[in-house]
Structure 1
Amino acid sequence: MESYFEYIKKIAPEIVEIVEKRYEILKNISYYQPVGRRVLAEKLNLTERIVRNEIDILRNLGLINVTESGTILTNEGKDILEKLSNIVYDIKGLEDIKAKVKEILKAKDVYIVPGDADLNPYVLKEIGILASKVILSLIEDVKIIAVTGGQTVKEVVDNFPACSFKDILVVPARGGIGQEVEKQANTLAANLAKKINGSYKLLHLPDTMDEEVYNLLIKKEEIQEVLNDINSADMLVFGIGNAIEMAKRRKLSQDMIEKLKEVGAIGEIFGYYFDKAGRIVYSTTTIGIKLEKIKNIKYMIGVAGGSHKAEAILSLGEIKNNTIFVIDEGIAKKIMSLEK
């Protein structure tokens, strides 16, 4: 059955276009405020003339103020933006898209936020906010949460509301010492534990290592203790990466990157690289969660933003079946187009 928004699209499509455009403008102002017209035009991929006209309209409606520092939302603007979120969700038909993507992935569930993080980074924050709500709805019977590193998981942690679950232990899903400490699993595990007033344990180990070092470290009692907790997790919150992109970030050798290309590596999660058919074509020697253990995890929460992640998600094989995905509109539409 068609929604009334479908009828509006048919009889007055320009109204829907205006609503979507002004929603995007308000959303960008909310994220970047105070923001100037030129920056706003760049973020929206619109001309300064169009942005100037829209700003004048929104200011006359009392939804924004233009200050010397830039444009900001008024309280009424914030209220309207919050109410518009559900309307835009319906206008974009995201409920239908969600159902189709859930069927394609054969996932446990799928949640979608409007927009595409490849076009606007504020969408990652929206994914973080939504994912935190999903986690909170499931957390009552959770004792151990494992988290991976990465920007999207960081957005989940950064946007997690302060609450109290003292009995919950948070652990990193894998080791990680190197650059961008704020995005590493250790840091995110500690920060999430503080947000929920829980406890945490850390793995002070390199993300990857040679086999000899691995075999030595894996025998240490303190590492075994944390590994037991990681592999007993009730919930795993993980990011999903493009295989070659992640190989470069992890500073794999150029020879290895070329080999990954040759074997058709597309997606990556916690050190495992998958091809289009969902087969593992390579795995790094890392201390942390093992693939064979994740089938025992009650709640798998996969988070990703940006349409370029669609193929990576599709490559995850049977892992998709036990995962609750929190993604953006860009990924969802790309998944649908790839599966046509």
Structure 2
Amino acid sequence: MASYEPKLMAKVAELYYKYDLSQQEIADRIKISRVKVSRILTAARKEGIIEVKINYPKDNATRLERKFEEDFGLKEAKIIVSQDASEKVYFNEVAKTAAKHLSEKLGDEDILGVSWGSTLRRVSDYVEPINKEVDIVQLIGNLGSNDVSANTIIHNLARAFGGEYNILPAPAIVDNKTIRDAIISDRKIKEIYEMMNEITVAMVGIGGLNPVSIFIKSGYLLEEDMELLNQAGAIGDICARFFDINGERCNAAFDDRVIGISFEQLKKIPYVIGVVSGAHKAEAILGVMRSGVLDVLITDEITALAVLELI
């Protein structure tokens, strides 16, 4: 790159930034080409004559989002910030943001995989009808008649999107591997499992291994299950696939009882959106981000800060 006199660089920078002249106006004024003005401005930035400072608004989460993106290799982080938000307000705002993000990112060629949980149920309530034909696949079996089961969420999404939806007609967890193997040998279940390999976008919740977990509240995790998972170091799950604080899979016998997408299949999906709200899930969020499964994280400031405190 050509060198320029400091005085010239300072003059061009002043005309451009202080007096708001266009590059062409500067070129005409000091009798040089517009291309040369552009090169002088570039050189001035490199030489430190021009310094860029961004004054972030107090309620702007840009720096926090950038830290998550850089530290965990995310394609995008969306963190909701509010001065007076309660846990309930944050929960709803996270769901609204996720609904909008999903609608914006999905295309007609996409196949959407969906898990379940209270957060995703609320997301499905906020998704507005759009003119896109998106096929939907259920990632994990159901929790009985629980209204946060995947089939309830999928029906809500199917009303918004015009594509086909594919329900996984089975419980999320069964008593043993023998029963699991028998169920997934069914022709219809096999078709769903094959479709899981074609998913291009997934929206998943993140569960924590604590007393408020849906698994525990619904009775799907018994005391002996909890003991087994705790011994394995489990701190959370995605689609009932448990992992530890370092994002490593906890290959407990419990894993053989799950009917749904595998951890390895999740990792192969090109665009996985994790939606979560609640500081009590901080350990689980940290673990799953270290696993490399997520491409996008949508959460709130309180939850995000709780995660960073663990690092």
TM-score, length basis structure 1: 0.69
- SS of aligned partner of 1:237: strand
Pair 1:256–1:171, CA change in 2 (3 A): same
Counterpart of 1:335 in structure 2 is: 307
- The answer to whether the 8 Å contact 1:240/1:312 transfers is yes
Counterpart of 2:131 in structure 1 is: 164
1:176-255 correspondence to structure 2 within 5 Å: 176-180=142-146, 182-209=147-174, 210-245=176-211, 246=213, 247-251=215-219, 252-255=221-224
Match among 239, 248, 267 for residue 279 of structure 1? 248
Cα offsets for 1:242-288 (capped at 9, x unmatched):
12343413521112212322332212111111111222123352222
> Which runs of 5 or more structure 1 residues have no equivalent in the other structure?
6-89
Q: Distance in 2 between matches of 1:125 and 1:233?
A: 27
Q: Distance in 1 between matches of 2:237 and 2:83?
A: 20
- SS of aligned partner of 2:78: strand
Name the structure with the higher helix share.
Answer: 1
Q: CA deviation at 1:112?
A: 0.8
Q: Distance in 1 between matches of 2:261 and 2:83?
A: 30
Pair 1:119–1:259, CA change in 2 (3 A): farther
Pair 1:124–1:91, CA change in 2 (3 A): same
RMSD (CA atoms): 2.3
- The answer to whether the 8 Å contact 2:246/2:290 transfers is no
Match among 70, 74, 87 for residue 120 of structure 1? 87
Counterpart of 2:277 in structure 1 is: 305
Q: Distance in 1 between matches of 2:84 and 2:285?
A: 15
Q: CA deviation at 1:106?
A: 2.2
Q: CA deviation at 1:178?
A: 1.4
- Structure index of larger Rg: 2
Cα offsets for 1:97-132 (capped at 9, x unmatched):
111122222222100112599942122221111112
Deviates further, 152-161 or 275-284 = 275-284
> Which runs of 5 or more structure 2 residues have no equivalent in the other structure?
1-52
- SS of aligned partner of 1:207: coil
Match among 108, 120, 144 for residue 153 of structure 1? 120
Q: Distance in 2 between matches of 1:303 and 1:288?
A: 19
Cα offsets for 1:43-70 (capped at 9, x unmatched):
xxxxxxxxxxxxxxxxxxxxxxxxxxxx
Q: CA deviation at 1:223?
A: 1.2
Q: Distance in 2 between matches of 1:250 and 1:142?
A: 36
- The answer to whether the 8 Å contact 1:147/1:238 transfers is yes
Which amino acid letter does the alignment assign opposite residue 257 of structure 1?
A: M
Which amino acid letter does the alignment assign opposite residue 95 of structure 1?
A: T
Q: Distance in 2 between matches of 1:314 and 1:233?
A: 25
Q: Distance in 2 between matches of 1:164 and 1:298?
A: 23
Which amino acid letter does the alignment assign opposite residue 294 of structure 1?
A: L
Q: Distance in 2 between matches of 1:116 and 1:160?
A: 25
- SS of aligned partner of 1:112: strand
Match among 221, 226, 234 for residue 265 of structure 1? 234
Q: Distance in 2 between matches of 1:215 and 1:307?
A: 36
Q: Distance in 2 between matches of 1:241 and 1:96?
A: 26
Q: How many residues align?
A: 252
TM-score, length basis structure 2: 0.75
Deviates further, 329-338 or 149-158 = 329-338
